[in-house]
Amino acid sequence: MPSDQLILAFDTSAAHCAAALLSGDQVLGVDVDDMARGQAEHLFPLIEKLLGAHGVEWPELARLGVGIGPGNFTGIRISVAAARGLAVSLGIPAIGVSSLEVQHRTTPVLATVPAPRDQCYSQAFTTGAGQPELTTIRAAQAMADRLGIAMGQPLQPADLVTAIGLRAQAATVLTPPAPLYIRGADAAPPRDPAPVILP
């Protein structure tokens, strides 16, 4: 990919809505809003504000990078669906990037992302990539000690979305975005019976 092409990256996998605009590997701008809910309504206004601040129109984008998790079930679905729709409408590739993957650069690491109830999502990056899993923070630290590698620290939203953009810019294999779910959804089926549909 030419080094000056424009890449838009965004992520809603945790309690934030974040977007970054890059020209090759140069970061033009980053915008982050902390929020526990409302990412679906907030994502496109945030992106349009970022693009407008740099005089960029949608058709000028060459590639999209999107955070695929792990993290908030609904948040992941929001950004992945947005990336898929934009990729089709703009005719450009969208590349899914894991929040665990961006913690690995050159040295081995046990990447971690916070999860509820004193747990974390973790993935070992040593000679290859292990499988992501949900575990306790204590068990993740024990695994890092056993493997003799550092335990990675989760990135702040601005750094995370920038790293997603840089990974998307450098990608030679254009992996379409798909949610990285490590555990099932927290949602439970409704307790009330379904309504009767009248003919």
Tens place of pLDDT per residue across the chain (199 aa): 556 799 999 999 999 999 999 999 899 999 999 998 999 999 999 999 999 999 999 999 999 999 999 999 999 999 999 999 999 999 999 999 999 999 988 889 999 999 988 999 999 998 777 899 999 999 999 999 999 999 998 899 999 999 999 999 999 988 889 999 987 655 566 677 777 776 6
- Give the pair of three-digit tokens for residue 188: 């439970």
pLDDT for residue 10:
98
Q: Residues 6 or more apart from 51 whose CB is under 8 A from it?
A: 8, 21, 57, 58
Q: Residue 69 — φ and ψ, nearest 5°?
A: 105, -165
Reading phi first (left if > 0) and then psi (alpha if -120 to 50, else beta), residue 171 is in beta
Indicate the pTM of the whole model: 0.89
Which residue in the block uniquely carries the two structure tokens 């499988």?
131
Amino acid of residue 150: A
Q: What is the dihedral of CA 123, 141, 77, 184, to 10 degrees?
A: 100
Whole-angstrom distance, CA of residue 115 vs CA of residue 140: 12
| CATH label, 1-99+155-182, candidates 3.30.750.200, 3.60.110.10, 3.30.420.40, 3.40.1280.10 | 3.30.420.40
Whole-angstrom distance, CA of residue 44 vs CA of residue 163: 20
Per DSSP bridges, beta strands 109-115 and 94-97 are unpaired
pLDDT for residue 42:
97
pLDDT for residue 198:
66
Contact by Cβ (8 Å): 161, 67: yes
pLDDT for residue 189:
63
Which residue in the block uniquely carries the two structure tokens 């790293």?
163
- Give the pair of three-digit tokens for residue 37: 């809910």
Contact by Cβ (8 Å): 167, 95: yes
Q: Where are the domains of the chain?
A: 1-99+155-182, 103-154
pLDDT for residue 185:
57
